[in-house]
Amino acid sequence: MNFLRATFAVIAKDLAGELRSRELLSAMFVFALLVILIFNFALELDVKTRNTVTAGVLWVTFTFAGSLGLNRSLAIEKDRGCMDGLLLAPVDRSAIYFGKMFGNLVFMLLVEAIVLPIYSLLYNTDLFQIGFLGVVFLGSLGYVAVGTLLATMTVQTRTRDVLLPILLFPLTIPVLIASVKASMGFLQGLEIEAIRPWLNLLIVYDTVFIAVAFMVFDFVVEE
């Protein structure tokens, strides 16, 4: 019970701080919108070709906006001295990890919830399919699970803005490839059997890396 209470307290702290400043969400949203607009004007493709690149364009947008959000969320904690306070709290430190992870996930999902309707209008594509939205959730979960751990590791370095993407993108290649392939499968109306291997990869990736982060987070913050 104390673990869950501490986790929700961290989430509530992040959400309350963001509601006051609106610094993180606004930066992520503007960045994501710019990426979509650039692709919209750069890729003047026919309808069939445009549909084939939809999944790739979306996940490029989510990835870069997500990395920006991960970097800022931990940098804000360090610059304001909040991280030291969290580490001094008499709670399991893995609760801090889950609180930060789910907080980052909420921010990423909020940006995606705004981006998807805009993308649908610009590209005239129906993105509101249950399977596709499920892939977006699983892919985002895996991305922030790894990203939150790595952001915690790099936040103390001077080159954190450069170092985080260098470490994050190679480790998230499996989840990004699986997300793109599964998203494309749902958007193209493929049979579930053709998509199932990518969904399984997403579920396994999320489970493994959340478990790894749970086990090593205490050692990471000690360093």
pLDDT tens, position by position, 157-216: 777 777 888 888 899 999 999 999 999 999 888 889 999 999 999 999 999 999 998 888
pLDDT of residue 18: 73
pLDDT of residue 85: 66
Let me know if 10 is exposed, middle or buried by CB neighbors in 10 A (0-12, 13-18, 19+).
Answer: buried
Question: What's the pLDDT band for 135 if we cut at 50, 70, 90?
Answer: very high
Which stretch of DSSP H or E encloses residue 172?
A: none
Q: pLDDT: is 223 or 100 the higher one?
A: 100
Q: Give the tokens for residue 177.
A: 């490839």
Q: Which pTM does this prediction carry?
A: 0.88
pLDDT tens, position by position, 90-126: 677 788 888 889 989 998 999 899 889 888 887 777 7
Whether 16 has a pLDDT exceeding 90, the answer reads no
pLDDT of residue 47: 59
Contacts of 72 by beta carbon, 8 Å cutoff, 6+ apart: 23, 24, 27
pLDDT tens, position by position, 43-78: 665 556 666 778 888 898 899 888 888 877 777 776
pLDDT of residue 133: 92
Whether 144 has a pLDDT exceeding 90, the answer reads yes
pLDDT of residue 180: 93
Q: Helices marked H in the chain — which ranges?
A: 2-21, 23-42, 47-79, 82-88, 93-123, 130-154, 160-171, 173-187, 192-222
**Three-state DSSP class for 80?**
coil
pLDDT of residue 46: 57
Q: Give me the residue spans of the domains in the chain.
A: 2-222
pLDDT of residue 183: 92
Rounded Cα distance between 55 and 153, Å, is 30
Whether 1 has a pLDDT exceeding 60, the answer reads no
pLDDT of residue 4: 81
pLDDT of residue 95: 82
